[in-house]
């Protein structure tokens, strides 16, 4: 969701601040909200957007500037001399000033990009150049000379830029049309032209970016002969008014927002011959009310595979389109009784004659091996666990590398399996340390240096970034981030609380996993208050053995038990575990969270009369539902940016789980918070940003009115100019976190 994406930036202590000085460091070892919203970042400064160079001799990444934590600079780690060095400082080009266009601001909001400076980049095929957008124009950095050249000089803002596959062109979107620049001649060319203001070419529509995890609308063929692109028309989408209240002005914005049950954009998929500009349109089928989820070219440039998802999202078709004729041929179909979860796990092998594919058809996400005509060769993985990402195929050794949770749903690891095995066999576990790993592999392994990047953390270890060999063996650190003297968190290690992990049988008979922080030096016989921190919706897993947010530490060190449960409906536990949310929200999740509260009441150190709850986005919705449906259990709640009425939310997310409003009126009615408002007995603090274009402010304004007309008392805080994330700067974030803690201190 939008809700899922925004959760990644949920404000409970998510801090990426890097540092001018240690001036604010508290030498007593006691964490404060002022400290966790100051520089340097307590968890260290992990490299972002890490990529291998095409030949594998370098690793490039983005890192916050020492002068301004919001500005990202471009760095490299050279494997030849094992040195990290700054390549381009963003401020050296812009002088620190950067004004985003409305289109770019909206795009970054959809992609949850909160930083400035160099926020993305791409490699040229020869590994000699790096392309990046900055301040509305495109720049090229040459590694041999260390020189940075400006490629465009447009008064408008170029977006979604990249090198073409062979490096002969730079492509980008300007005013929702595709442009290319010949790298040698510098000559630019506009490839598409919109027939009306509502028709847009090469861009990703709102729903694609917000809900389908597709942030582009054009794709080069490997030989640069063709570009496939999406053309969409926004005209069918109803125009809605959204109010944006800032510090010193008030705007009424007219936006095309596809609320649940209303019309989406109309879509076309074109294949353009770059030399001539001629376009052949792909037949997307009789049903035009669809989502175009994924597009990927075959390695031999003969055509592309696209994924067509029905409006109800129960059927996904993988379809081949011929590059020359645009004629289509169905390859395979996935069908679900609930909904089809979209994947990015399609990989062509053996020169495009075969491919690997991920499917939940067995009840859990696993890998399958196909011929390109759609005939199944075999299933590679199986079992009551989940493959999360297909990472690499070493065709020479016949080994497939992927990440998943075969060992435990609380950890994430790297595995490999033989491509040639006819029967499903147990994968080999590769990653070395217990905890949570994320991996970055090169697009294709070089012959000699078969390395990958491992992001690793556990409850005692902030994120460490290393380069590893194919067998998991350590090669070198990119960022060791060790908790030794000099690390920002080192002075606080003495009070660090390691969470406990456990599980119990939930109301549905499933094992429900939880994480619990307990105050250190607990007194025998004393009963402590509990704060539930939750999300609760589909697509998210919170209970993981990883390094957590410092705000949890502050609450626990202040005498609270901080408790998090992954209720039924959360991700990485299989289709049935997640599918229980189908057709109604706010029922199963509430049952499981209430069961967790009853479980906690059996512990002799828990005060059953002092249980609170806090959440943002879907977690804000869950906070309301728990306060309203279980008022005798949850006594204090802080709900930020909540959905209160699902008819106000967008088509793709809402209909995926609830169907259309006119087809599931009862489900929508019961999923709303409004039938339960009068039940509130405890204390409620409601929070919303007044420029939120994701969960629009009407969700909260409706609830404010409903509470008031029923004479139900509550507290409320609005943040002018703040979007769904709330806390665009560290001082506002400090205000936000202090507000929440003070509320629990006073009432819990």
Strand duo 636-640 + 606-616: pairing:
parallel
Strand duo 683-689 + 636-640: pairing:
parallel
Q: Residues of CATH 2.140.10.30 domain(s) within the chain?
A: 195-342
Name the active-site residue from 137, 458, 692, 693: 692
**pLDDT the model gives residue 3:** 60
What sign has the CA pseudo-torsion 271, 273, 277, 280?
negative
Q: Residues of CATH 3.40.50.1820 domain(s) within the chain?
A: 490-747
Cis ω for the linkage preceding 74 (within 30 of 0): no
CA 368 to CA 331: how far, in whole Å?
14
The 10 Å Cβ neighbour count of residue 745 is 13
CA 235 to CA 199: how far, in whole Å?
8
Q: Which of 186-195, 347-356, 446-455 has the weakest average pLDDT?
A: 446-455
The 10 Å Cβ neighbour count of residue 171 is 23
Cβ pair 309, 291 in contact under 8 A? yes
| pLDDT single digits (tens) 338-388 | 999 999 999 999 999 999 999 999 999 999 999 999 999 999 999 999 999
Taking 70 as the threshold, does the pLDDT of residue 207 lie above it? yes
Averaged over 455-482, what is the pLDDT?
96
**pLDDT the model gives residue 291:** 98
Q: How deeply is 47 buried, as exposed, middle or buried, from its count of CB atoms within 10 A (0-12, 13-18, 19+)?
A: buried
**pLDDT the model gives residue 21:** 35
Specify the DSSP class assigned to residue 742: H
From 132, 141, 140, select the one nearest 87 (Cα to Cα): 141
CATH 3.30.365.10 for domain 490-747, yes or no, is no
Averaged over 440-456, what is the pLDDT?
90
CA 217 to CA 176: how far, in whole Å?
10
Q: Which of 196-205, 236-245, 585-594 has the weakest average pLDDT?
A: 236-245
Residue 38 annotated among the catalytic residues of the structure: no
Residue 521 annotated among the catalytic residues of the structure: no
Taking 60 as the threshold, does the pLDDT of residue 9 lie above it? no
Taking 90 as the threshold, does the pLDDT of residue 742 lie above it? yes
Distance of CA 559 to the CA centre of its chain: 32
Averaged over 30-34, what is the pLDDT?
94
Cβ pair 25, 488 in contact under 8 A? yes
> Model confidence at 2, in pLDDT bands (50, 70, 90)?
low
Q: Which of 74-78, 147-151, 251-255, 413-417 has the weakest average pLDDT?
A: 251-255
**pLDDT the model gives residue 495:** 95
| pLDDT single digits (tens) 630-670 | 999 999 999 999 999 999 999 999 999 999 999 999 999 99
Taking 90 as the threshold, does the pLDDT of residue 264 lie above it? yes
Taking 90 as the threshold, does the pLDDT of residue 499 lie above it? yes
Name the fold adopted by 195-342. Answer: Methanol Dehydrogenase; Chain A (2.140.10)
| Residue 735 backbone class (left: φ over 0; alpha: ψ -120 to 50; beta: rest) | alpha
> Model confidence at 253, in pLDDT bands (50, 70, 90)?
confident
Taking 70 as the threshold, does the pLDDT of residue 736 lie above it? yes
Averaged over 726-730, what is the pLDDT?
82
CA 727 to CA 15: how far, in whole Å?
10
CA 125 to CA 595: how far, in whole Å?
55
**pLDDT the model gives residue 687:** 98
Name the active-site residue from 43, 571, 617, 672: 617
Q: Which of 6-10, 469-473, 571-575 has the weakest average pLDDT?
A: 6-10
CA 536 to CA 585: how far, in whole Å?
10
Average model confidence (pLDDT) across the chain = 92
Q: Which two tokens stand for residue 292?
A: 């175009």
Instruction: Give percent of the chain with pLDDT exceeding 90.
Output: 82
- Give the CATH architecture of domain 45-190: 7 Propeller (2.130)
Name the fold adopted by 377-480. Answer: Neuraminidase (2.120.10)
- The phi, psi pair for 346, rounded to 5°, reads -110, 125
Give the CA diameter of the chain: 81
Residue 728 annotated among the catalytic residues of the structure: no
Token pair 């001399």: residue: 81
Q: Which helix (H) or strand (E) holds 273?
A: strand 266-273
Taking 70 as the threshold, does the pLDDT of residue 256 lie above it? yes
pTM for the full predicted model? 0.94
Strand duo 436-440 + 428-429: pairing:
unpaired
| pLDDT single digits (tens) 676-702 | 999 999 999 999 999 998 999 999 999
CA 650 to CA 70: how far, in whole Å?
30
Instruction: For the sheet with 328-335, list strands across it.
Output: 290-297, 303-310, 315-322, 328-335
What sign has the CA pseudo-torsion 420, 421, 424, 428?
negative
**pLDDT the model gives residue 153:** 86
Cβ pair 321, 304 in contact under 8 A? yes
What sign has the CA pseudo-torsion 427, 433, 435, 437?
negative
Number of helices (H), then strands (E), belonging to the chain: the values are 13, 44
Most confident of 28-37, 340-349, 418-427: 340-349
Q: Which two tokens stand for residue 620?
A: 């804000």
Q: How deeply is 66 buried, as exposed, middle or buried, from its count of CB atoms within 10 A (0-12, 13-18, 19+)?
A: middle
Q: Residues of CATH 2.120.10.30 domain(s) within the chain?
A: 377-480
> Model confidence at 570, in pLDDT bands (50, 70, 90)?
very high
């Amino acid at each position: 969701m939008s809700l899922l994406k925004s959760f990644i930036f949920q404000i409970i202590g998510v801090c990426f601040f890097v540092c001018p000085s240690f001036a604010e460091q508290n030498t007593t070892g006691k964490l404060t909200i002022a400290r966790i919203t100051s520089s340097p970042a307590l968890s260290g400064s992990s490299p972002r957007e890490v990529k291998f160079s095409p030949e594998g001799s370098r690793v490039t990444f983005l890192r916050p500037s020492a002068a301004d934590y919001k500005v990202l600079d471009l760095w490299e780690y050279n494997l030849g001399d094992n040195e990290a060095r700054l390549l381009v400082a963003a401020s050296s080009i812009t002088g620190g000033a950067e004004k985003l266009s409305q289109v770019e601001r909206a795009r970054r909001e959809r992609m949850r990009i909160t930083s400035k400076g160099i926020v993305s980049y791409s490699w040229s095929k020869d590994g000699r150049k790096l392309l990046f957008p900055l301040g509305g124009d495109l720049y090229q950095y040459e590694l041999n000379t260390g020189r940075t050249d400006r490629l465009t000089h447009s008064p408008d803002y170029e977006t979604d830029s990249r090198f073409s596959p062979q490096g002969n062109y730079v492509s980008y979107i300007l005013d929702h049309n595709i442009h290319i620049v010949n790298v040698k001649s510098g000559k630019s060319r506009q490839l598409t032209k919109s027939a009306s203001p509502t028709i847009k070419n090469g861009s990703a529509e709102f729903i694609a970016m917000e809900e389908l995890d597709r942030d582009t609308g054009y794709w080069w063929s490997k030989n640069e002969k063709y570009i496939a692109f999406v053309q969409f028309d926004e005209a069918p989408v109803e125009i809605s008014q959204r109010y944006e209240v800032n510090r010193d002005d008030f705007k009424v914005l007219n936006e095309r927002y596809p609320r649940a049950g209303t019309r989406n954009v109309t879509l076309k998929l074109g294949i353009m011959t770059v030399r001539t500009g001629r376009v052949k349109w792909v037949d997307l089928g009789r049903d035009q009310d669809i989502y175009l989820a994924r597009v990927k070219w075959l390695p031999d440039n003969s055509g592309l595979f696209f994924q067509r998802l029905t409006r109800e999202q129960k059927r996904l078709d993988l379809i081949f389109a011929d590059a020359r004729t645009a004629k289509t041929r169905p390859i395979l179909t996935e069908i679900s009784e609930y909904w089809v979860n979209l994947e990015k796990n399609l990989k062509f092998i053996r020169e495009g004659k075969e491919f690997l594919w991920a499917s939940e058809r067995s009840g859990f996400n696993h890998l399958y091996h196909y011929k390109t005509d759609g005939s199944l060769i075999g299933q590679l993985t199986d079992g009551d666990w989940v493959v999360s990402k297909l990472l690499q195929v070493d065709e020479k050794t016949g080994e497939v590398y992927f990440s998943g949770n075969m060992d435990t749903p609380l950890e994430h690891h790297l595995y490999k399996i033989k491509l040639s095995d006819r029967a499903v066999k147990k994968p080999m576990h590769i990653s070395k340390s217990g905890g949570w790993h994320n991996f970055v592999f090169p697009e294709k392994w070089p012959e000699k240096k078969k390395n990958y990047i491992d992001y690793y953390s556990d409850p005692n270890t902030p994120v460490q970034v290393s380069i590893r060999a194919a067998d998991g063996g350590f090669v070198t650190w990119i960022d060791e981030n060790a908790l030794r003297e000099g690390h920002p968190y080192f002075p606080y290690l003495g009070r660090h609380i390691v969470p406990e992990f456990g599980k119990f049988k939930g109301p549905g008979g499933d094992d429900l996993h939880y994480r619990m922080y307990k105050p250190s030096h607990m007194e025998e016989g004393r009963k402590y208050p509990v704060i539930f921190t939750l999300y609760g919706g589909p697509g998210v897993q919170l209970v993981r053995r990883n390094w957590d947010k410092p705000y949890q530490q502050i609450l626990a060190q202040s005498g609270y038990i901080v408790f998090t449960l992954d209720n039924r409906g959360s991700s990485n536990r299989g289709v049935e575990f997640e599918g229980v949310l189908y057709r109604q929200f706010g029922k199963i999740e509430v049952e499981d969270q209430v069961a967790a509260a009853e479980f906690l009441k059996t512990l002799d150190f828990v005060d059953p009369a002092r249980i609170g709850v806090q959440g943002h986005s879907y977690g804000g919705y869950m906070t309301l539902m728990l306060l309203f449906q279980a008022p005798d259990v949850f006594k204090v709640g802080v709900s930020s940016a909540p959905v209160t009425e699902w008819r106000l939310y967008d088509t793709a997310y809402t209909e995926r789980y609830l169907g259309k409003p006119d087809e599931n009126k009862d489900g929508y009615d019961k999923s709303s918070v409004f039938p339960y408002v009068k039940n509130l007995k405890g204390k409620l603090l409601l929070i919303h940003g007044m420029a939120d274009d994701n969960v629009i402010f009407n969700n909260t304004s409706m609830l404010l009115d409903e509470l008031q007309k029923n004479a139900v008392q509550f507290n409320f805080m609005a943040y002018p100019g703040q979007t769904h994330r709330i806390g665009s700067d560290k001082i506002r974030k400090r205000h936000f976190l202090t507000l929440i803690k003070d509320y629990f201190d006073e009432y819990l």
